[in-house]
Amino acid sequence: MPQSLEYLKESPSQTAGPYVHIGCTPSFCGIDVYGEDLGKSMKTGPVTGQEITIRGTVFDGTGTPLRDALIEIWQADAAGLYASANETRGQADPNFTGWGRSPGHMETGEFVFETVKPGRVPMPDGRLQAPHISFWIVARGINIGLQTRAYFEDEADANAEDPILTRIEHQVRVPTLLAKKTGEGEYRFDVHLQGPNETIFFDV
C-alpha cells in the first residue's frame, strides 16, 4: 500500500522579513562583510553606451514609501547582450555586470542604480523588444517577490512595437511601466503596489 505523502505538504510562504537587508546588503546596515554590498556597482570599468542613473521609490496602497524595500535589476548591456553563460549572440561588455541590487533609503525609501541604457533584445521569434530593465521587489508583507519592467518614455518608437507592451489589454496602464526622464542621463521609475496608479506586475 502506497505511503501517504500528506506530511510533505507545501509550507506557507514567508515574507522577506525584517532582516533581509542584513543578509543581502550588510554594508548598508553597517556590517562589513564584503567591503561593498553585492550588486551595488554594476560597472567594473569603462563601459560602452550611455551611462544613466535610475531613481525610484516603492509606494504602498496609501501612497506611503516603503522604507524597507529591496530592489534587484537585471538587464542587457548597451548592445542588447546579457552577461550570462547562456548568451550566444556575442560578447557582452566585460565591464558591465548587468545585475544590481539596491535597498530603499531607510527614511525616504528611494533606491538608486548607476547603470547603462540597455540595447534592444530580440524575442525568440526575432521581434525586437524595446530597451527595458527587469525589476524584482521584496519587502516585509510581500510573500513572493514582485516582477516588473521599466521601459523608457523617450523610446516611443521602440515602445510602440514592443511585443510585450503592445499585448497589454488595458493600454492606459502602460505608463506605469515607463521610466520618466528627469535630466540628462537621469530617469525616475516609481513602483506602486496598489491604488489607481498600480504598476503592472508580471507572472514569471
Q: Among candidates 18, 20, 135, which has minimal Cα distance to 73?
A: 135
* Average pLDDT, consecutive stretches of 10 residues, N- to C-terminus, the chain (204 residues): 65 68 81 85 97 97 92 98 94 97 92 98 96 94 90 98 96 97 97 95 90
Would you report the helix, strand and coil content of the chain in percent, each value rounded to 5?
A: 15, 30, 60
Task: Return the pLDDT at 52.
Answer: 98
Q: Quick one: pLDDT at residue 19? A: 67
Q: Please give the pLDDT value at position 38.
A: 86
Which residues fall within 8 angstroms of residue 131, CB to CB, at 6 or more apart? 117, 118, 119, 120, 151, 152, 155, 158
pTM: 0.89
69 vs 58: CA distance, rounded Å: 7
Place of cell 530617469: 187
Query: In the chain, what are the domains?
Result: 13-192 (2.60.130.10)
pLDDT of residue 28: 82
